[in-house]
């Protein structure tokens, strides 16, 4: 019995698969992250509905949890100051909401995501929404500036670091994209700026991917699209009807506050020594 050997075929040289271009890799990463964030958003929404009913998750309780979480990164002294600055910022929104006649909850803190409050509305019109939105950065900036007092009295660089961080956080919140405070101000000034802010934030997230930026993109994109689709409805047109002088006042507060925060960051910047 003879065995005929199988013909030997020459294997082609191994070729390493080509990597997709960078923009495709970034796009795939953002798409995958978006799927995860949508699922996270659904769970977060359910959690937020339950928050007022859970006695353990009060303002003081979530503050303590946040302090403990931030202390693992920066130490407890800075963590206490950082959470206090977040509290002052959120209380600006609470105070203004109540002045607008809208009941608002006390702040609830979420470690590494900041803090939030719950309210049935942001006021009866875009001007009220702008006032509520700007009240947070205004009071938050005052709180950050207050850190300069102990810094000037010899309290150490930690106070300057807290002031710088407070100025930065409030400036970041002035970005003209919903749901940030700057997006609330744009409701009364120029709603089309939402798209400018969204594009700028998208470019930033592509250059520096981070979960917070992706969350803002997700929620901001959905909210901007919802508002833009409804812009021609009679109720929406009445909502965004703002007198020119009021629009000018909002613009002056917005620009002036942003300029003051930039100057504050420059004055409190500390050169890191490695």
Residues 155, 217 contacting (CB under 8 angstroms): no
Q: What is the pTM of this model?
A: 0.77
Per-residue pLDDT of the chain (274 residues; tens, 9 = 90+): 444 444 444 444 444 455 555 555 545 555 555 555 555 555 555 555 555 555 445 788 888 889 999 999 999 999 999 999 999 999 999 999 999 999 988 898 988 888 888 888 888 899 999 999 999 999 999 999 999 999 999 888 999 999 999 999 999 999 999 889 999 999 999 888 899 888 988 898 888 888 888 888 888 889 888 888 888 888 888 999 999 999 999 999 999 999 999 999 999 988 765 4
Alpha-carbon distance 142 to 218, whole Å? 30
């Amino acid at each position: 019995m003879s065995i005929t050997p199988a013909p030997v075929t020459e294997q082609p040289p191994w070729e390493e698969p080509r990597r997709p271009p960078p923009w495709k890799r970034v796009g795939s990463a953002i798409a995958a992250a978006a799927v995860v964030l949508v699922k996270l958003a659904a769970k977060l929404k359910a959690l937020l509905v339950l928050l007022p009913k859970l006695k353990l998750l009060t303002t003081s309780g979530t503050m303590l949890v946040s302090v403990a979480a931030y202390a693992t990164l920066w130490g407890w002294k800075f963590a206490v100051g950082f959470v206090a600055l977040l509290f002052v910022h959120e209380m600006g929104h609470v105070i203004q909401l109540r002045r607008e006649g809208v009941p608002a909850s006390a702040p609830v803190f979420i470690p590494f995501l900041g803090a939030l409050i719950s309210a049935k509305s942001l006021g009866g019109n875009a001007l009220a929404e702008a006032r509520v939105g700007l009240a947070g950065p205004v009071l938050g900036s005052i709180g950050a500036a207050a850190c300069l007092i102990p810094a000037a009295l010899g309290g150490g660089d930690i106070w300057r670091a807290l002031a710088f961080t407070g100025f930065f956080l409030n400036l970041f919140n002035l970005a003209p994209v919903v749901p940030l405070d700057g997006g609330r101000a744009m409701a009364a000034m120029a709603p089309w700026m939402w798209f400018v802010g969204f594009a700028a934030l998208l470019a930033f997230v592509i250059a520096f991917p981070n979960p917070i930026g992706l969350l803002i993109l997700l929620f901001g994109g959905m909210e901007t699209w919802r508002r833009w689709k409804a812009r021609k409805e009679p109720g929406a047109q009445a909502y965004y009807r703002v007198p020119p002088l009021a629009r000018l006042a909002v613009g002056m507060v917005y620009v002036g506050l942003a300029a003051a925060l930039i100057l504050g960051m420059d004055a409190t910047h500390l050169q890191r020594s490695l």
